[in-house]
């Protein structure tokens, strides 16, 4: 009797295992694509575009302690990239992220000093078809009571490009 019950249990487990899939089911449909247009720039997903020619003038405040921006280097060159945060009246910092949203560099100077990030842009690195040369910037403060205007700009020095 014990053998019969064990056999039935094993058979039931085998049937269960044969019909299961350990990985999530993925639909072929790409409908309902995420739409960033209605999101705020509090997240990477809602990051605002910033161009090299036009710096951003914005404000951090007690109910807005973090902003996100994105820019794209379209040229197929390597070269020095500089991101600058200036005009701040409190301790605000900046971080630079790649197209995978991994932190690649940062400037976290104390007080109201200008924050500057300098790094070498390698065009071959960010060579995906849709996100070629895409970077994200996070401007933030850990001082929840801070109210500060800021100016954010970036520069890709094509003149020194290789």
Partner 1 sequence: MKIQSLSLASALSSAVALSSAFVFSSAANAYEDHRNMKFTSYTFKHSTWTEDQYVGDLKEVVNFADAVAHAVEFRTPENAKFKLNVGAAVRSDANGDTELESLLGAVEAGGVFIRMETSSAPGYIAPEEGSIFDNKYVAGERGFTAKYLQVNIGKSLDHWPAARWGLGYIHVQQPGTLNMYTTSSDGGYSGMPNYPDAIIDPEYQHDLLGIWLDVDNLQAAMHDGDGFMLAMNRKGGFRYGWGLTMDMIFGALKSHSSQDLDKIVKDNYGLDLEYNDPFGIGWSITYRLEFITAYRMPSSNFGLSFGLEGRAFQGFYSEDFFGTSLSVDDGSEAALQLGPGDNMVFQYGPFVRLAWEM
Contact set with partner 1 (CB under 8 A): 13, 16-17, 19-36, 39, 42-45, 49, 70, 72, 98-104, 125, 128-131, 134, 136
Q: Which residue's CB is nearer to partner 1, number 11 or number 103?
A: 103
Nearest approach in angstroms of CB 96 to partner 1 is 12
Q: Which residue's CB is nearer to partner 1, number 1 or number 20?
A: 20
CA distance 102 to 109: 20
Q: Which residue's CB is nearer to partner 1, number 135 or number 156?
A: 135
Nearest approach in angstroms of CB 48 to partner 1 is 11
Tokens of 135: 């970077």
Nearest approach in angstroms of CB 86 to partner 1 is 26
Per the rule left: phi > 0, alpha: psi between -120 and 50, beta: everything else, 87 is left
Whether 91 contacts 146, CB under 8 Å? yes
Question: Which run of H or of E encompasses 49?
Answer: strand 48-49
Nearest approach in angstroms of CB 23 to partner 1 is 7
CA distance 73 to 52: 9
DSSP classification of residue 40: -
Q: Which residue's CB is nearer to partner 1, number 49 or number 62?
A: 49
Q: Which residue's CB is nearer to partner 1, number 46 or number 90?
A: 46
Distances (CA, A) of 141 to 30, 96, 123, 134, 158: 37, 15, 31, 24, 31
Nearest approach in angstroms of CB 112 to partner 1 is 26
Tokens of 35: 């739409």
């Amino acid at each position: 009797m014990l053998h019969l019950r064990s056999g039935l249990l094993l058979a039931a487990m085998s049937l269960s295992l044969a019909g299961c899939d350990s990985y999530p089911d993925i639909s072929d449909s790409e409908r309902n694509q995420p739409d960033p247009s209605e999101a705020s720039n509090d997240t990477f997903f809602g990051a605002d575009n910033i161009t090299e020619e036009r710096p951003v003038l914005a404000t951090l405040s007690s109910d807005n302690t973090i902003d996100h921006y994105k820019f794209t280097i379209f040229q197929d060159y390597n070269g020095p990239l500089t991101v600058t945060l200036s005009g701040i009246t409190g301790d605000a910092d900046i971080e630079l992220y790649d197209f995978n949203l991994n932190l690649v560099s940062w400037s976290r100077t104390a007080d109201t000093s200008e924050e500057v990030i300098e790094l070498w842009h390698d065009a071959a690195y960010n060579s995906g078809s849709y996100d070629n040369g895409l970077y994200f910037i996070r401007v933030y403060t850990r001082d929840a009571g801070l109210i500060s205007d800021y100016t954010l700009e970036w520069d890709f020095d094509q003149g020194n490009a290789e």
